Chain A
Amino acid sequence: MASLRHRALEVCCAVLLVGGAGPARADLVNFDLAGRIYTKYLYRNNDRQGLVSYGNPFWTDNISGDNGVGTEFELKVFGRVSKYVSAYARLQSRFGELWQDWWENGDLNPTGANTSGESLGMNHASYIKLRGTWVRLQIPTPSWWTHTLTWGSSDLGMFNPWTIGKVRYIDRDNGKGIFLNGIVKQGLVSYDLAMIAMPKLWVGPWWSTGIGDPMLSNPFWSRDWAYGARLTVAPDWGSFTLISTLTNDVEVDRTDPDAVGSAYATCQDDLGNPIVGCQKDHAVDTFSRFWNSVTTLEVQADPLSWLSLNGLVVLSMQGIDPKLTADGVQLNQGVSPVVFRSTYGDAFRSADDWAFRLRGEFQTDFGLGVKVEYFHIGQHVNAIFGARREADVLLTEGFIEGGQLPTLNLANEFIDFDEAFVESCIGWHGATVVPSYATSFSGGSLEVTGEGTVLTYNQNAQNRDVDRVYPDFLHSDGFTDTDLYDYANTTDRGRDPRSVFRRNQDRLTGIGVLQVRTTFDAYKGVELALKGKYLWDRDWRSHLTTQDDYLGQQLQVRARLAMGLADGLRGEVGVQYDHWWEKGRKGTLLTDEAGRRVLSVIGYNDDRTRKWKAFLGLTYEYEGLKLGYRLEFLDKYQWRRPVDENQHWLVVRSKATMEVAW
Chain B
Amino acid sequence: MLELKNVSYEVSDENDNKEILKDISFTIDERFVAITGPNGGGKSTLAKLVAGIIKPTSGRIYLDGKDITDLSITDRAKSGISFAFQQPVRFKGITVKDLIRFAVGHDISTTEACAYLSEVGLCAKDYINRELNASLSGGEAKRIEIAMTMARGTSLSIFDEPEAGIDLWSFQSLIKVFEHLHEKAGGSIIIISHQERILNIADKVIVLANGQIKDMGTRDAVLPGLLMDGPACEKLTEKM
Partners in one complex: no
- Which A residues form the contact surface with B (CB < 8 A)? none
- Which B residues form the contact surface with A (CB < 8 A)? none
